[in-house]
Chains A and B, each alone.
Chain A
Amino acid sequence: MSGNAILVVGGGFSGITAALEAAEMGYEVILVEKNPYLGGRVAQLNQYFPKLCPPSCGLEIQFQRIRNNPNVKVLTMAQVTKVSGQAGNFDVTVSIKPRYVNEKCTCCNACTEAAETTVPCEFDFGMGMRKVAYRPNIFAFPQRYAFDKAKCSEAEAKKIEASCKYGAINLADQERTQTFKVGAVVQATGWKPYDVSKLENLGAGKLTNVITNMQMERLCAPNGPTGGLLLRPSDKTAPKRVAFVQCAGSRDENHLNFCSYICCMASLKQVTYVRERVPGAEVTVFYIDLRTPGRYQKFLEKVSADPKLSLVKGKVAELTQEGSGKVLATVENVETGIKNVEEFDLVVLATGMQPSVAGEAVAVNAPRDEEGFFIGSPDSGVIATGCAKVPLDVMRSAQSATGAALKAIQTVAGR
């Protein structure tokens, strides 16, 4: 590695895009991702804006580009633990967790079948279970299984090892560190859904039929826990009345003191999920202001033409669940001035985007605002991009990442 290599932290849509744009200009790139797969939040979606493609659509092209480009070095299950130096001359230490599955894996699924212990599936936000030996997701890149060895017994681990006829399970795998010299760092650590346990008046995550918008994506995704059927968690029935609660944590100085930009569009998109999956279902979106950035106004017009959708101005400020599984939402309709308790089968919280690393120490020394978003400063050689910098949709994340790649190149060019 030379001083004109670029480190990209985070392998979501922004990170992949920044890495590829730089790599295709001939620069060496190290792409570090903490999950066992690339694709980040986009991989978890059912459909994504602007064209409501399934995530495999855009990600598949990106994965092809990575596969075909020798300049990109991808490290999964890896985290940057130390960054020292300055623009043009950083020393980076990356720590890589053991995957216990090597490159011989053919994804034959024998290890998953051999495994017995199950754990809640992170990819499905705990709504489904997975085995300890598992495929991270159906189009995981790299296409390789992973094994949570610490979560099962020695005997089970041995059995899983024995089940693999390709010798791809390596129980001796160890955590290791690698060091690199790079000239610039692109911080693309993305976002996480706001922790609903902090939303006490909205059930604090304890009401079974109150889910987050990201859980809704998983429920509706063909590779999700229900195979794409919209079934509410308590009794696995199709909800006939669904409510969306906007600004669940966003635009709230007690939680996230900013607009998360995309939740209004996400909820409108999810309205179409409900209407496609449950015939005759009635949907209500409770909002403060419906924000439709740019061309998305057209999408609002299209979706709101649906007679089964009501858009109600007024924030839901209290949610409770009855024994029958019905969720009671108390809200004042600002236009009519009537406060009412309404019953729903399923309530979706439009939880906001919080920077993934909010409140955490990070190896990269870059300024952050009080919410945890990175403030980009190209002079320092650390360039923030995507949702690590500001809440964005996928399209604008890609634009932001392309810009970040250019800034990174300007930092390292000629060194």
Chain B
Amino acid sequence: MSSPVRIQPDPSFVRELQAAGGESVKKCYQCATCSVACPLSPAENPYPRKEMVWAQWGLKDKLMNDIDVWLCHNCGTCSDLCPRGAKPADTLAAIRNMTYRKLVGPAKIGEWMSSSKGLPYLAGIPAVLWLFIWLLTTGLSIPAGEIKFSKVFPGDFTIDPLFGAVAVFVAWSFYKGVTNMWKSFASLPTTFEVGAHCEKPTLVQAIIDVLRDDLYTHRQFNECGADNTERSKGHWALLAAFVALAIVTSVVAVSHWGSKVPGFHWLHALGDTPMVLYSPVKLLAIVGTVLGFYGLTMLTRRRLNLDAQKQGSSFYDWYLLGVIWAVFVTGLGSMVLRLAGVAGLAYPMYYLHLVAVFMMIAYLPWSKLGHLVYRTTALVYARMSGRKPLTRVEDKIFEI
């Protein structure tokens, strides 16, 4: 039968995993209820049962190279049915958290992101940075006259270069992370097919399929066993909000920097800030904001109402929700205070907004928001390798 395999347990990894949200992992007694309960789990080497035993032994390499933790969409059906309260859903979430932490360096950011102890550093960096800029521009004073945030934080010389550098750093980290992931997935055994040969999609086709059939429809959320309406709607709305606000930011950036190119001066009309309220770009921003608040409310409410016996929330979950809340609240606050003409509050609010945005974007690959890239990568790989959920046999009655 099988040849003996020597394994190298890593107890310190188990402790880290338990701290990252998988504290109940040792309760698992390998009954495999979870693998059956999961509606997304495939027939061959289904998850999450095998991840539970790997996690109990601290088999770091297996877990870090595991595509399945990303195919899980964390509906919690496995935890609901788990007879030991071992919370497989939380364990998979913890493995994802460990991946955010370990997949790419610098290790320090991964460590800061892993618990509330890192919060002073995470918030401190942008807080000092933006305060320093404020000191340089107006000497920390509130400028007189019409409220224009560029008086304190001029785009061209502070915000844009800074966030530009951050974006390059984040993109480079993601590039390394995705390459690492892709290589590790390639080491997995390929899917053995029985029956009719099915055509495997190309990379481009797989990306299109994932965007169209998975991300746009939120299919996996709705196929998950438990009632996910609140989560599915909330997550969809928040994703849509991010897309809308990304478009707005892009338009502003392109019109601003594009208009400096000779012959493209007209571009500035598109995105000069502050915009009038009825400009299409501003309207899109407002729609994005509304969707964002709706999504945040749904997702936060769900998390607050979780049955602690079945599913918990880790620092990663609360950091992400907290930072997005901060971005939206301070963003809306800045606009409202600006329109209300309360300069003494508007500028500090905008300062907080910049801190929050920095906290969301600069640490993206090490935060839970990294799933935006990593999960998408895994979904694309799964499409290409043909790793699909077990299809249930349907009851067919033929009447003649």
Partners in one complex: yes
Using CB atoms and an 8 Å cutoff, list the residues of chain A in contact with chain B. 201, 247, 251-255, 288-289, 313-318, 320, 322-324, 328, 330-332, 334, 337-341
Residues of B within 8 Å of A337, CB to CB, are: 44-46, 50
Question: Once the chains are docked, how many angstroms separate the CA of A254 from the CA of B44?
Answer: 28
**Is A315 within 8 A of B84, CB to CB?**
no
Complex contacts, B34 vs chain A, CB 8 Å? 317
Q: A317-B33, A330-B36, A332-B32 are in contact. Are A341 and B49 (CB under 8 A)?
A: no
| Separation of A45 and B395 alpha carbons in the complex (Å) | 35
In the complex, the answer to whether B395 meets A317 with C-beta atoms within 8 Å is no
Instruction: Judge whether B81 and A201 touch: CB under 8 Å.
Output: yes
A254, B81: Cβ atoms under 8 Å?
A: yes
Tell me which of A314, A317, A323 contacts B37 (CB under 8 A).
Answer: A317
Q: Which single residue of chain B is at the shortest CB-CB distance from A333?
A: B32
Closest chain-A Cβ to B49's Cβ sits at a distance in Å of 6
Known A288-B30, A330-B36, A334-B32; contact A341-B393, beta-carbon cutoff 8 A: yes
A332 touches B392 (CB 8 A): no
Q: Looking at the complex, which one of B30, B83, B397 makes contact with A334 (CB distance below 8 Å)?
A: B30
- Check if A332 sits within 8 Å of B35, measured CB to CB: yes
Quick one: which of A201, A247, A318, A324 contacts B31, CB cutoff 8 A? A247
Tally of A-B Cβ pairs under 8 angstroms: 75
- A315-B31, A339-B390 given; A332·B46 CB < 8 A: yes
Instruction: Write out the residue numbers on chain B whose beta carbons fall within 8 Å of the beta carbon of A328.
Output: 393
B83 touches which of A253, A323, A330 (Cβ 8 Å) = A253
B333 at the binding interface (Cβ < 8 Å): no
Interface string of B299-323 (1 = CB under 8 A from A): 0000000000000000000000000
Residues of A within 8 Å of B42, CB to CB, are 339
Cβ–Cβ contact B390 & A341, under 8 A: yes
Is B386 part of the binding interface, using a Cβ–Cβ cutoff of 8 Å? no
State how many angstroms separate the Cβ of B242 from the closest Cβ of chain A. 35
A331 to B37, CA, bound (A): 9
The answer to whether A339 and B43 have CB atoms under 8 Å apart is yes
Task: Provide a sorted-by-A list of 16 A–B residue pairs whose CB atoms are within 8 angstroms.
Answer: A251-B29, A251-B83, A255-B83, A288-B31, A315-B31, A317-B35, A317-B81, A331-B32, A332-B35, A332-B36, A332-B46, A332-B49, A334-B49, A337-B44, A337-B50, A339-B390
Contacts of A201 in B (CB 8 A): 37, 81
Hey, which chain B residues are within 8 Å of A252, CB to CB?
A: 83-84
Q: With a CB–CB cut-off of 8 A, which chain A residues contact B35? A: 317, 332, 339
Question: How far is it, in angstroms, between the C-alpha of A318 and the C-alpha of B78 when the chains are bound?
Answer: 12
Question: Which B23-58 residues sit within 8 Å CB-CB of chain A?
Answer: 29-37, 41-46, 49-50
Is A316 within 8 A of B397, CB to CB? no
Contact residue among A288, A317, A323, A331 (Cβ-Cβ distance under 8 Å from B397): A323
Residues of B within 8 A of A317 (CB): 32-37, 81
B36 & A288 in contact (Cβ 8 Å cutoff): no
* Measured CA separation A396–B33 after assembly (Å): 32
B43 and A331 within 8 A (CB):
no
In the complex where A338-B44, A341-B390, A341-B393 touch, is A253 in contact with B32 (Cβ < 8 A)?
no
Q: Which chain B residue shows the least CB distance to A314?
A: B32
Digit string of B325-353 for contact with A (CB within 8 Å is 1, else 0)? Answer: 00000000000000000000000000000
Q: Which residue of A has the minimal Cβ distance to B37?
A: A317
Q: Provided the pairs A315-B32, A317-B37, A332-B36 are in contact, do residues A323 and B395 lie with their beta carbons within 8 angstroms?
A: yes
With the chains together, A318 CA to B41 CA distance in Å? 14
**Given A317-B32, A331-B36: A339 touches B46 (CB 8 Å cut-off):** yes
Nearest chain-A residue to B50 (Cβ)?
A: A337
How long is the Cα–Cα vector from A334 to B52 in the complex, in angstroms? 12
Please tell me if B85 contacts chain A, counting CB pairs below 8 Å.
yes
A129–B395 CA distance with the chains assembled, in angstroms = 31
Q: How far is the CA of A316 from the CA of B32 in the complex (A)?
A: 8
